[in-house]
Amino acid sequence: MNKINALRRAINSGHYEINAYRLAIKIVQQESKLFGL
């Protein structure tokens, strides 16, 4: 059970990092449009 829980935590943290990365890209794209870069 502990191995499964650890695996789930690793997957969840991985998804969180991917979502944070995508969010950062969206913010950069919006700012670049705002400043006309």
Determine the pLDDT at residue 28. Answer: 92
Model confidence, pTM: 0.55
9: amino acid identity, one letter: R
CA distance 1 to 7: 10
CA distance 26 to 13: 20
Helices (H), 1-37: 2-35
Determine the pLDDT at residue 37. Answer: 60
pLDDT tens by residue, 1-37: 689 898 899 888 888 899 999 999 999 999 888 887 6
**What residue ranges do the domains of the chain occupy?**
1-37
Determine the pLDDT at residue 21. Answer: 92
